[in-house]
Amino acid sequence: MPRVDLVVSSPVSKSVRAAQLCGMFDVPPRDESTLSWKADVPIEDKPWSVGLIHGPSGAGKSTVARALFGDRVDFPLEWGGDAVVDDFSKTLSMDEIASVCQAVGFNTIPAWLRPFAVLSNGEKFRVDLARRLVESDGLVVVDEFTSVVDRRVAQIGAYAVQKYVRRAGRQFVGVTCHADVVDWLQPDWTFDPSTGAFDWRSVQPRPAINVEIRRVSKREWARFAPFHYLTASLPGGARCFELLVDGNPASFIASRPRPSTGVKGRIEIEAACRSVTLPDFQGLGLAFVLIETVAAAYKARGLRFRMYPAHPSYIRSFDRSKRWRMTSRPGRVRQRGKSGKIQGAPRPCATFEFAGGPDHAAADALL
């Protein structure tokens, strides 16, 4: 059984200022300052995927983590490429990079093409996690986990990480002073160096979030357009829908009708043409909640609903779902311009049709 038995000592300064400070606060004179930790950490007693070392600042979390896991803690990463995708190991395929970025909620394609230095703190947090997870074998330990990001980003990021780690059969340990990530990271064990308390936990559902879906005008697209990987414009006739989390816009989808191939002028299919989730909310599956609600609403009106995902991970997610049926496998599809001519570079694409049931309440609210 691993055991923490550490003593960290440092000499006390004999400078004039140190003497003045001791005098001001009546600090007893001593030659050295000593901190110690003793505790059993039985992480070898059971199989586990996710661990958490937490406690107040100055509790010795980083010291304990390095005693337990050595150079696994925050192994150095180099950044400096013109795009963050160039910073990933050259041994990785683009599909592997895309999959791990999507898994941790770093799924804004334009951000993949920017250098690390210009990313937001939330984006840096997620892509740093992605590299650590995909470029290491087995255990990953991250010190100051979620410390530099907004707490909502921290919680969603923690949830996305644990989901990837468990699915991939890996091990992850977060080291943090923030207790608000516990219910989202759902660690199999926790250790608090300040008290020496080690606890095994059972994995539980993540905390509930309050969502609202509404029909919106095209003006709302401006908030989401910078994060869409194809274009900042909306096609004519697009109908727009938005998902909010605790009143904050989080995900967006636009669709437009497609004429039937049978009777001229008859509309049988509603097709998604834009789908975006804002970076701070990626990793919770909110896009699927929005898409499937809108699809079920259209089905209640007698219309078939189709999606045309190009992202490999997105395609796999649709393919795993029993509520979607693939009608066209990924291929090389080009965009048509206003003139009807084929324009733009080819891109891999699949076609999925909604196979779930109708939602008449959603149809009444949204359509």
pLDDT in tens, 143-189: 999 988 889 889 999 999 999 999 999 999 999 999 999 999 999 99
Residue 273: helix, strand or coil by DSSP? strand
| DSSP bridge pairs for 133 | none
Which pLDDT belongs to residue 263?
A: 56
Nearest to 291 by CA among 359, 191, 189, 194: 359
Nearest to 235 by CA among 165, 308, 176, 286: 308
Least confident interval from 44-53, 86-95, 341-350, 351-360: 341-350
Q: Taking residues 11-22, what's their average pLDDT? A: 84
Alpha-carbon distance of 200 to 48, in angstroms, equals 10
pLDDT in tens, 280-318: 898 889 999 999 999 999 999 999 999 998 877 788 889
Alpha-carbon distance of 256 to 233, in angstroms, equals 14
* Dihedral over alpha carbons 196, 197, 203, 206 (to 10 degrees): -80
Q: Is the pLDDT of residue 81 over 80?
A: yes
Which pLDDT belongs to residue 347?
A: 62
Q: Taking residues 238-252, what's their average pLDDT? A: 96
CA angle at residue 112 from 110 to 117, to 5 degrees? Answer: 105
Q: Beta 342-354 vs 304-307: how paired, if at all?
A: antiparallel
11-15 contact pairs (CB < 8 A, 24+): none
pLDDT in tens, 215-240: 999 999 999 998 887 667 888 889 99
Which pLDDT belongs to residue 178?
A: 92
- Cα–Cα distances (Å) from 48 to 114, 147, 177, 337, in that order, read 36, 24, 22, 53
Q: Taking residues 99-117, what's their average pLDDT? A: 90
pLDDT over 70, % of the chain: 90
Higher pLDDT, residue 70 or 6: 70
Nearest to 345 by CA among 353, 355, 333: 333
Q: Is the pLDDT of residue 333 over 60?
A: no
Which pLDDT belongs to residue 216?
A: 97
Residue type at 270 in one-letter notation = E
Mean pLDDT of the chain: 88
Q: Is the pLDDT of residue 335 over 70?
A: no
Instruction: Using pLDDT thresholds of 50, 70 and 90, give the confidence band for residue 88.
Output: very high
Contact of 299 with 357, CB cutoff 8 Å:
yes
**207 Cβ neighbours under 8 A, 6+ residues apart:** 155, 183, 184
Could you say which DSSP state residue 195 is in?
T
Q: Counting Cβ atoms within 10 Å, is residue 108 exposed (0-12), middle (13-18) or buried (19+)? A: buried
